[in-house]
């Protein structure tokens, strides 16, 4: 097993694709340690993807790409900018709020960074904001799409623990808003300290005009989530509805849907889905091999001997997530660690709903953590800036994400209040 894990680490250091490192490590442990037949690996790849609720992942990604490439996201930012852009730090606050709402539309952090960043950052630069800080704000705010429902990471977590996706969705609402508020406060304080200029307030006529344009976009989360919690359709069906809604809005209201941007949206969705699923297959195979080798049982025995309290266990897991986030993407982190940690969490009587929010908060940090944070590379590529410049602008807001993660750990009610309220009804 040590050789298998060392092989995984070596492949990562050599710059091999993550799924190759995962698959090679899992194959080594399966073939040479456990003596399993080769057919087992193909079966594990298939079984890991043969889950109905995972169909929601490509659907939400496709819907978010339609919103990104067909233009509705621009109207959302213009409305928020018209409402608060004249206040000190107002445009920064508008950018964070746009990330929160667009995250609820797409469930994708990368799509949110691309959609909001392309619109908000040029406007922030025109008002005198520094480029590094502006990029850093959008990088960290874009990760809110992983917490605020519908969240792709919540779908993945629910499949790992065989939980109800709709319940996990609602657990992320209050924590997502909390993180957004913290980012807004820090962005506004920073803008005031730097003496950012403000623009004249928009007229109420302009605000009403931008609201009419943005209204179909603002209506999408209530339609999708209202359908789920109203019992009209399942989360997977809701993801399909979000595609139909996005297409109808882009075609008949905004008249921005063309065959070119439709195919671009579909292509990007296919690529993103393929990346997630092939990593999912490799990570599942490695996790299964580690489970066959009874690593979870050994881990549970070690934790029992240490006598860690549930709180200390959660803090140790958070530290592990933060370290792994420096060298790995969130999806393989989740698919490697959750199956191993699940028996330990159950034994320690840790609420899985609370832990799901903690996990997603840590994955938000991972997405913006140097040197391999996906959001950092997305921002760097968009504005052709060195990754080091994006990292320097991101660090103050990355600290905010880490602090919010710890707050969520210490105050479980933030995660459990809405699920408990929903169950009480």
Q: Tell me the torsion sign for CA atoms 321, 325, 326, 327.
A: positive
* Tokens describing residue 138: 């959008």
Residue position matching structure tokens 């909390």: 178
pLDDT tens-digit map of 173-200: 999 999 999 999 999 888 888 777 677 8
Residue 296 pLDDT: 66
Cα angle at 187 between 410 and 213, to 5 degrees? 105
Is residue 154 domain-resident? yes
- Judged against a pLDDT cut of 70, whether residue 304 lies above it is answered with no
Is residue 175 domain-resident? yes
Residue position matching structure tokens 């009480």: 424
Highest mean pLDDT, choosing among 82-96, 195-209, 375-389: 82-96
- Judged against a pLDDT cut of 80, whether residue 297 lies above it is answered with no
H helices, E strands: number in the chain: 21, 0
pLDDT tens-digit map of 348-366: 899 999 999 999 999 999 9
Total domains in the chain come to 1
Can you tell me the distance from the alpha carbon of 361 to that of 283, in angstroms, rounded to the nearest whole number? Answer: 20
- Mean pLDDT (whole number) for 270-289: 80
Residue position matching structure tokens 């996201």: 73
Instruction: Indicate the pTM of the whole model.
Output: 0.85
Can you tell me the distance from the alpha carbon of 329 to that of 345, in angstroms, rounded to the nearest whole number? Answer: 22
Give 107's pLDDT tier (boundaries 50, 70, 90).
low
Can you tell me the distance from the alpha carbon of 71 to that of 284, in angstroms, rounded to the nearest whole number? Answer: 37
Is residue 4 domain-resident? no
Can you tell me the distance from the alpha carbon of 365 to that of 380, in angstroms, rounded to the nearest whole number? Answer: 17
* Tokens describing residue 137: 């704000």
Residue 71 pLDDT: 63
Is residue 143 domain-resident? yes
Residue 281 pLDDT: 80
In angstroms and rounded to an integer, the radius of gyration of the C-alpha atoms of the chain is 22
Is residue 1 domain-resident? no
Can you tell me the distance from the alpha carbon of 409 to that of 131, in angstroms, rounded to the nearest whole number? Answer: 33
Is residue 166 domain-resident? yes
Residue 335 pLDDT: 83
Is residue 2 domain-resident? no
Residue 398 pLDDT: 94
Residue 300 pLDDT: 67
For residue 234, give every residue at least 6 positions away whose Cβ sits within 8 Å of its Cβ, in sequence order, or none: 166, 228
Tell me the residue range of the domain where 125 lies. Answer: 10-424
What mean pLDDT, rounded, does the chain reach? 84
Is residue 5 domain-resident? no
């Amino acid at each position: 097993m040590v050789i298998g894990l060392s092989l995984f680490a070596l492949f990562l250091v050599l710059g091999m694709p993550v799924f190759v490192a995962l698959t090679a490590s899992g194959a080594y442990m399966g073939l040479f340690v456990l003596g399993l037949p080769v057919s087992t690996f193909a079966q594990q790849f298939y079984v890991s993807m043969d889950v109905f609720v995972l169909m929601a992942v490509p659907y939400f990604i496709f819907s978010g790409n339609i919103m990104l490439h067909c233009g509705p996201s621009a109207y959302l930012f213009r409305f928020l900018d018209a409402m608060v852009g004249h206040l000190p730090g107002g445009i920064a606050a508008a950018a964070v709020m746009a990330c929160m709402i667009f995250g609820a539309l797409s469930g994708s952090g990368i799509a949110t960074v691309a959609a909001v960043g392309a619109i908000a950052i040029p406007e922030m630069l025109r008002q005198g904001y520094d480029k590094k800080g502006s990029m850093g704000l959008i990088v960290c705010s874009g990760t809110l799409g992983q917490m605020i429902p519908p969240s792709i990471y919540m779908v993945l977590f629910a499949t790992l623990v065989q939980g109800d996706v709709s319940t996990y969705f609602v657990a992320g609402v209050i924590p997502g808003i909390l993180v957004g508020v913290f980012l807004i406060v820090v962005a506004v304080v920073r803008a005031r300290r730097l003496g950012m200029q403000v623009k004249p307030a928009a007229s109420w006529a302009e605000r009403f005009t931008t609201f009419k344009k943005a209204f179909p976009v603002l209506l999408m989360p209530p339609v999708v989530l209202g359908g789920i919690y109203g019992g009209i359709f399942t989360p997977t069906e809701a993801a399909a509805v979000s595609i139909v809604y996005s297409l109808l809005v882009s075609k008949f209201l905004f008249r921005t849907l063309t065959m070119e941007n439709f195919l671009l949206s579909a292509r990007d969705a296919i690529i993103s889905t393929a990346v997630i699923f092939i990593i999912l297959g490799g990570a599942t195979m490695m996790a299964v091999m580690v489970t066959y080798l009874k690593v979870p049982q050994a881990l549970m025995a070690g934790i029992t001997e240490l006598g860690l309290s549930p709180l200390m266990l959660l803090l140790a897991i958070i530290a592990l997530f933060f370290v792994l986030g420096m060298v790995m993407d969130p999806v393989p982190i989740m698919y490697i660690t959750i199956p191993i940690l699940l028996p330990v969490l159950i034994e320690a009587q840790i609420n899985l709903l609370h832990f799901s929010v903690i996990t997603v908060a840590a994955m938000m940090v991972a997405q913006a953590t140097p040197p391999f944070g996906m959001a950092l590379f997305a921002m760097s590529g968009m504005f052709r800036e060195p990754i080091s410049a994006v990292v320097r602008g991101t660090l103050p807001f990355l600290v905010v994400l880490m602090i919010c993660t710890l707050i969520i750990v210490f105050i479980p009610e933030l995660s459990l209040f809405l699920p408990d309220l929903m169950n009480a009804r």
